[in-house]
Amino acid sequence: MLFDRDGTLIRDVPYNGDPRLVEPMPGATEALGRLRRADVPVAVVTNQSGVARGLVTPDEMDQVNARVEELLGPFDAWAICVHDDGDGCTCRKPAPGLVIRAAAVLDVSPRDCVVVGDIGRDMAAARAAGARGILVPTKETRPEEIDEAPEVADDLTDVVERVLNDVSEAPVPAAAAPWARAMGWSRW
């Protein structure tokens, strides 16, 4: 499963370069723990344009990410876009690059990934990569983003419940790795 960082896994502090300000979203620790116990790989896909804008140094971003892992546990992959909207990159959400990159590190097809985020850009990136998108709205999520989301969940606990229930019902080849059996993911 691929998670947006700010507003999804941790409270959104715009252009945060201070690890002391990292605070997990409600239910994040428990949801990630449940996925890890089910041998489901977890990754982060995050836009960090503050680096391109000079508002956050790469070292500060790394310190914040280290604090995220300290509080929420290790992630199997991090896919980070440090570009700004005007840079024309293919990784910055809503482009699919981060989803594709994280899927490649996890050695799965993007179409077998679930992208969890709090805004329309997250859902657009999932759609562009052929992944399943689940929106977990916050007070910053615009009403039209909720209306346009392919799937909306109440919180991270709801997301994990849906995904684990869905995959427990899906047939998976017997030769698949344990985590692939848990998610129904195929290698590409």
Report whether 91 belongs to an annotated binding site: yes
CB 68, CB 25: distance < 8 Å? no
Active-site annotation holds for 87: no
- Does the annotation list 89 as a binding residue? yes
112 is catalytic: no
Beta bridge partners of 44: 3, 78
Query: Is residue 76 marked as binding?
Result: no
- For residue 81, say whether it is annotated as part of any ligand binding site: yes
Residue 6 labelled as part of a binding site: yes
Listed residue (109, 118, 119) closest to 155, CA to CA: 118
SS3 at position 24: strand
Kindly state the tokens that stand for 25: 């979203």
Whether residue 65 contacts residue 78, with contact meaning beta carbons closer than 8 Å, is answered with: yes
Instruction: Say whether 4 counts as a known binding-site residue.
Output: yes
18 known member of a binding site: no
Active-site residue (options: 4, 59, 87, 155): 4
- What is residue 112's DSSP assignment? G
CB burial string 5-37: b at 16+ within 10 A, e below:
bbbbbbbbeebbbebeebebbebbeebbebbbe
Q: Residues within the annotated binding site for Zn(2+)?
A: 81, 83, 89, 91
Q: Residues within the annotated binding site?
A: 4, 6, 81, 83, 89, 91, 118
Residues designated as active site: 4, 6
Q: Residues within the annotated binding site for Mg(2+)?
A: 4, 6, 118
